Structure 1
Amino acid sequence: MPRVADHDERRRTIAAAFRKLVADEGLRKTSFVRVAAEAGVSVGLIQHYFANRDELLLFAYQEGLRSIFERVEARIADGEAAGRPISAMLFDGLLELLPLDERRRVEYGVQQSLVTEALTDRALEQVAQEAAVSLHARVATAIENGKECGEVAAGVDAAVAATMILATALGYAATLALPAAESEADAVLRPVLGLVFTGRCRHFDR
């Protein structure tokens, strides 16, 4: 019986090869020929799934964001199951935005390249804007939840606090992307979270 192709998996494999090349060599040096060699497939196969480079670029960007957000959600789910404070779960989620290992280094390099490209590409701009809004909303929701359990003071502006936290995390990500940078995430991010999450969760007092 002939094997049925997993088209979604093939698209993801091609997109992963594209992201690896972008992270290693920059967006301008990528091409279907280079991506095909990296993915171990033919140029014709890539053209079967993506009509042009812009389609591949957009799909690769969306896939990278999806992977990041899925890991953030997994971190939160694990934290909830373990009964961890919201501030601890938020810290763990922010770590997924930092280039702390090879996977996240590739993701970060691609995101930066494509965010720059989004300045002149309306389709990419829309994806980038939606991702930024979604990320900010997730952090703001964590802060509002913190108010409910006592970790965050009632008067804290969740939107402003979320912007402050993300500005620190994303700025620190840019520093970590530099060669020979060493991670000090605890020393950098926890004090900023401590400015917002000033209390103890009431759930721990039950």
Structure 2
Amino acid sequence: MPRLVDHEVRRRQITGAVRRVIVGGGLESVTFQSVAAEAGISVRLVQYYFGTKKEFLLATHRSVMNDVGDRLTQRWAALGEDATPRDAIRAVLTELLPLDDRRHEEVIVLGAFNTAAISGQGITADETLAAPRALVAIIVDQLERAHRLDRPADRASPALGLDAALIGAAIGGLAQGMLTGYATAQSAVELVDHLLDRMLVPKADNRTG
């Protein structure tokens, strides 16, 4: 009896190979041939599942974001319903740092896509902006929650959106900087904590002057 093929498993095999090729040689090293060789399958099979290079590149980008999303869901579930906004944001931010081999690979891959969007290597910013926009939306939601807990009678400031964008930009820069030794795992987490301490100052602790 012929063996049934799980098509989703096969697609994951191919996008996993794309990730490894990117880590080893950058986005420019990704071809049907290099991906097939890395996956241990034929070029024809890669073409069967993904008709163009752009298709498997975007599928790879989605697979990275899906993996991050799955881990965040697990992290939030572990935090429980009583988690503070700070705890929730911290969980998101630390999950985006290259603190282990898996996340290290993801940061390299996402950085390669960002470079491709900037340099016009067949990937546009619009095709990869969903993830950073979703990150900012998550942070905004938690900052607004923190505001409601601290100042329930006051209306949330529109500046919370700017704060969330700054946090998102900071974590992206820190993640990429860690790849070149800008920060160690320990110092990166310390920077995240310092950033959140600065951004989530209770009203009673605010100082002027």
TM over 0.5: yes
**Are 2:144 and 2:156, in contact at CA under 8 Å, matched by a contact in 1?**
no
Question: What amino acid sits opposite 1:18 in the alignment?
Answer: V
Displacement of 1:199 in angstroms is: 3.4
Deviates more, 1:118-127 or 1:65-74: 118-127
**Structure 1 SS opposite 2:128:** helix
Cα distance 1:151–1:131, how it changes in 2: closer, same or farther (>3 A)?
A: farther
**Pairwise CA RMSD:** 2.4
**Are 1:98 and 1:169, in contact at CA under 8 Å, matched by a contact in 2?**
yes
Give the counterpart of 1:187 among 178, 187, 190. 190
**Are 2:98 and 2:175, in contact at CA under 8 Å, matched by a contact in 1?**
yes
Displacement of 1:150 in angstroms is: 2.4
Q: Distance in 1 between matches of 2:45 and 2:129?
A: 31
Q: Distance in 2 between matches of 1:175 and 1:54?
A: 27
Displacement of 1:50 in angstroms is: 0.8
For residues 1-206 of structure 1, the aligned pairs below 5 Å read 1-81=1-81, 83-119=82-118, 120=120, 124-150=124-150, 156=157, 157-179=159-181, 181-183=183-185, 184-199=187-202
Question: What amino acid sits opposite 1:90 in the alignment?
Answer: I
Count of residues paired in the alignment? 199
Q: Distance in 2 between matches of 1:73 and 1:93?
A: 10
Please identify runs of 4+ aligned residues in structure 1 that moved more than 3 A: 121-124, 151-156
Cα distance 1:174–1:122, how it changes in 2: closer, same or farther (>3 A)?
A: same
**Structure 2 SS opposite 1:44:** helix
Partner of 2:207: none
Displacement of 1:140 in angstroms is: 0.5
Displacement of 1:121 in angstroms is: 6.1
Q: Distance in 1 between matches of 2:65 and 2:73?
A: 12
Query: What is the identity percentage for the equivalent residue pairs of Structure 1 and Structure 2?
Result: 29
Displacement of 1:61 in angstroms is: 1.0
Structure 2 stretches lacking a partner, 5+ long: 204-209
Displacement of 1:186 in angstroms is: 3.0
**Are 1:58 and 1:124, in contact at CA under 8 Å, matched by a contact in 2?**
no
**Structure 2 SS opposite 1:118:** helix
Question: What amino acid sits opposite 1:69 in the alignment?
Answer: G
Structure 1 stretches lacking a partner, 5+ long: 201-206
**CA deviation digits over 1:59-95, x for unaligned, max 9?**
11111112112222322222124x3322022112111
**Are 2:97 and 2:175, in contact at CA under 8 Å, matched by a contact in 1?**
yes
Displacement of 1:6 in angstroms is: 0.8
Cα distance 1:113–1:10, how it changes in 2: closer, same or farther (>3 A)?
A: same
Question: What amino acid sits opposite 2:115 in the alignment?
Answer: T
**CA deviation digits over 1:131-176, x for unaligned, max 9?**
2211111111111111222299865532011122122211111211
Displacement of 1:180 in angstroms is: 8.4
Cα distance 1:70–1:151, how it changes in 2: closer, same or farther (>3 A)?
A: farther
